[in-house]
Every structure is written in structure tokens, then in C-alpha cells.
Structure 1
Amino acid sequence: MTTQTLPIDLYYAATPNGRKITIILEELALPYAIYPINIGRGDQFKPDFLAISPNNKIPAIVDPEGPEGKPVSIFESGAILKYLAEKFGKFYGTSWSERIKIDEWLFWQVGGFGPMLGQNNHFSRYAPEKIPYAIKRYQDESHRLYRVLDTQLRKQAELGKGYVAGDYSIADIAIFDWSRGSDNHGIDIAEFPSFAAWRQRVTDRPTVQRALGITLEQSQQISAATDKEAQKILFNQR
């Protein structure tokens, strides 16, 4: 069994993509050190951060005990989840068939659920001009994706399974914190009972509670809804 002696460096902001990584680090009981990246003030564009995250997005990690004992840096939350799950042999199934299912739902989140909910949030809450077509387009797509998730969870429940790809996995970790914003996404959770039960089940995990309890200094908090300077940095970059 792989062990970790030195802490993993986590470059973090308190967003759904950031919390994915604190959740898995807590689930794996790994030592880690948080380096806050104030994305509302442009820390993500500093050369030191770009050296490990060239897409100027959080999260990123540096594992001092990477492959062949050498340090490795990883960006993109899905890639980090897969790396940690594979390295420590947990939350990624034990067979090819299990991993295929987990990968399907992991990529469903990083390619669809997260980006579509992000666009929904942007046009509904942050865009300076309210564009009805854009708001409806992303709210409708968000609703469709929640229905896809609810249907999958209902089918799993019929098989006696409580999680999106069978057993608890990095697919659940990837999806979970994005789903906590369902109210902002225009979703009536009562419409999706299998999803609601799953979200509560994940929320109740002590490891998840510890990850959700991580707070940053007030200066690191994002207030893009009212902070014009943060909006200039976060939106419409070329």
C-alpha cells in the first residue's frame, strides 16, 4: 500500500473545483498544505503559479513524492483526482469495467456538468447585461443534466448501490460540490429525489464535512457578484 510522508502542496481557492481536491485529500487521510490562490485579485496569473498551472486555473498540486520518487505538478481537477486515486488505490474501482464507469461520470462532470452550471451562474447572476436567451439556454441545459444525474442515481439505487458509478468514487467527489449550488442553478431539488438523497449521503461523510469546513482569510474570499475589480480579472480574459 502506498504511503505519503511529505505533504502534498495544494494551490487552492474555495470553489467547487478546489473543494474536489480537499475532499479527496481528506478521504485519503493524506498530509497536505494549502497555498491560497486569490483568483479575484489575479494570483492565478503570477509566473510561479503558471509554472504549475499553465491554464491559469485552480486547483493544482505538487506531489514531492511523485512517480519514481520525483516531484510532480498536476493541474486540472479531474487529472488530480485520477492521479491521487490511482496512486493510493482507492475511490477508483478495482476492475476495468468499474473504472470505465467511473471515468464516464468523471468526464461527464468536467466536460458538461461543471461548465454548463458555470455558464448558468454567469449569465443568471454576474453578466452585466441580462440576456434572456442565454439565461434560458443554460438553465434548460442545467435542468437536463440534473435529470441525467437523478436518473443514473435512481438506476443505481435499484441495483442496491448508493453512488453514481456504484461504490463511492472520484466521480461522486467531482460532481458533489458543483451540485450544492442547485438553488442558484434554478433547480427545484424536490423534482429530483434520487439526487437529493445522494447529495445528503455525500454531505454526511465526516471527511466531506472536514473539507467543507476549510476556510480562508477574508482577503482570500471571492465576491465577484459585487466586486468590480474581481469581475475584470475573472471574466472576459483573452
Structure 2
Amino acid sequence: MIEVYSWATPNGHKVHIMLEECGLPYRAIPVDIGAGDQFKPGFLAISPNNKIPAIVDPEGPDGKPYSLFESGAILLYLAGKTGRFLPEDTRGKYDVLQWLMFQMGGVGPMLGQAHHFRIYAPEKLPYAVERYTNEARRLYGVMDRRLARSTYLGGPQYSIADIAVFPWLRSWKNQGIDWNDFPHLKGWFDEIAARPAVQRGVEVLADRRKPLTDDRARQTLFGDIQYQRGR
């Protein structure tokens, strides 16, 4: 059984959804990032960047336990392990991979910054709020135009690109998005949200997550504690 060290965040949900879609048995081990669990030695041994998620597969590529961090790498690993959600043909595979990289390099980091400056920053900085809200809208526009001519982000079939992007768009309201501006993306979003495996995946550890309201948790995630622990 695969062990998933995770929390109820978009990056965590990517892996939860993939495991549910693939039907792989797994056990979710909560890593409370507000309480600082990500700095514990046991977790750092498998995730040296102190970020969730990470997995331990007792039946790795050589039949021995194998640990892996970075959500995009985990999606690729699970796709390779199961032969699902990544096309075998070269053209189809790279069509999916470029949209997976789009999520890893654009959607995740930029929407994360939009969340931070719109919701969590102790001081509302108009320049930062405008900068990242505009970038969120730009990225939504890129995806909307893609989905105007493609059933899914990576092509005609549902893939790890869709699995990677979807959890980040669940907080569209916090990102300053009006769905009326992105009808093709909204149709895709509703279709993905209706998948039973997706619905199960986003519920994993959801009951453990609490609103980020206390100063200690904010310092752990965004402030001095994060950087002191990182040294």
C-alpha cells in the first residue's frame, strides 16, 4: 500500500485524485503544514524541500521501497506504474507533458501568489494584488482558449495534465476570477468536478484542514519559522 504524506491543498489533492483514479490502495498520512510537521526529520528524509506531498511506494521500480517528492514527479511516476493517464505515443505524451509543465511552472506558482497576496498577506499591497490577479486571469485565458479546441488540456483524453490543474482552480473566487469570462474552461471544470474519483480525492484529509488564522501558523508557512527551519 502506497503511503501518501500530504495535506488538503491543491498539490496534495493532485496526488489523492491520481491514486483514486488509478484505483491504487494507499494510506494518507497527514502532514499539518500549519503546525510545522513538514520540518520533522522523518518527513524531510523523503521530502528534502519540506513540501507536501511525498509518497513511499513499498513496491518501487525494482521491487524495493521507493520514496518520491514533488507532485508533478509523483503524477508521472504513478502514470508509469499503472500505464494510465499519459499517452504512449510520442506526440500524445508530449502534448500532455507540456500542459503538465504549464501547471507546474505557471498555474501553481502564480495562483499561489494570488492566494497569498489577496487572502493571507498581513498587509494588502495593491501592486502585488493587481499583479497576481491579472496573471491568474491571463492563465485562465490561456486554458480557456486551449479548451475551445481541445476536449482536455493535453488532448482528446483525460490525463495527468487535467488532474494537475483542476485542484488549483477550485479556489477561483479567491483568485478574483469570474467564470463568465472563461466558458470553455468552466465547462471542463464542471466535467472534471463530477468525476467520482475526483470527488473522493478532494475529500482526502479535508476534515483536518483549518482556516489559517493564527499567527503561529502564518509564521510557519510564510515567515521566520519557514526560513529558519530551511537553513
Determine which of 168, 174, 192 is the counterpart of 1:202.
Answer: 192
Map Cα deviations across residues 108-140 of structure 1 (whole Å, 9 max, x no partner). Answer: 001110110010110111111111111100001
Equivalent residues in 2 for 1:7-26, closer than 5 Å:
7-26=1-20
Question: What is the one-letter code of the residue matched to 2:154?
Answer: A
The 5 Å alignment of 1:213-228 reads 213-217=203-207, 220-224=208-212, 226-228=213-215
What's the Cα RMSD here?
A: 1.0
The separation in 1 between residues aligned to 2:69 and 2:205, in whole angstroms, is: 22
Quote how far apart the aligned CAs of 1:216 are. Answer: 4.9
State yes or no: 1:233 paired with 2:220.
yes
After TM superposition, list the pairs within 5 Å mapping 1:101-180 onto structure 2.
101-156=95-150, 162-166=151-155, 167-180=157-170
Q: Render the CA deviation track for 1:144-199: whole Å, top value 9, x for unaligned.
A: 0000010001111xxxxx21111100000000010111111001001100000000
Residue aligning to 1:186: 176
Q: Which runs of 5+ in 2 are unaligned?
A: none
Deviations 1:68-110 (A, max 9, x none): 1011100000000000001110000121111111110001001
Amino acid at match of 2:61: P
Any conservation in 2 of the 1:39–1:222 contact (CA below 8 Å)?
Answer: no
Do residues 70 (structure 1) and 87 (structure 2) align?
A: no
- Report SS of the residue matched to 1:155: coil
DSSP-derived class of the 2:210 partner: coil
Provide TM-score, normalisation by structure 2: 0.95
CA contact (8 A) 1:223 1:230 kept: no
SS in 2 for 1:184: helix
Q: Secondary structure at the match of 2:14?
A: helix
Residue identity matched to 1:78: G
| 2:209 alignment partner AA | Q
CA contact (8 A) 1:36 1:216 kept: no
Task: Give the aligned length.
Answer: 224
- Which amino acid is the alignment partner of residue 108 of structure 2? G
How many percent of aligned residue pairs carry the same amino acid? 54
| One-letter amino acid of the counterpart of residue 233, structure 1 | T
Equivalent residue of 1:73, what SS? Answer: strand
The 3 A distance-change label for structure 1 pair 223 and 191 is: same
Residue 90 in structure 1 maps to residue 84 in structure 2 = yes
2:204 is paired with a residue whose SS is coil
* Counterpart contact for 2:17–2:163, Cα < 8 Å: yes
Opposite residue 211 of structure 2, the aligned amino acid is: S
Unmatched 5+ stretches in structure 1: 1-6, 157-161
Question: Could you tell me which amino acid in structure 2 is paired with residue 118 of structure 1?
Answer: G
Shift of 1:214: 2.6
SS of aligned partner of 2:110: helix
Q: Is 1:58 paired with 2:52?
A: yes
Q: Distance in 2 between matches of 1:57 and 1:68?
A: 26
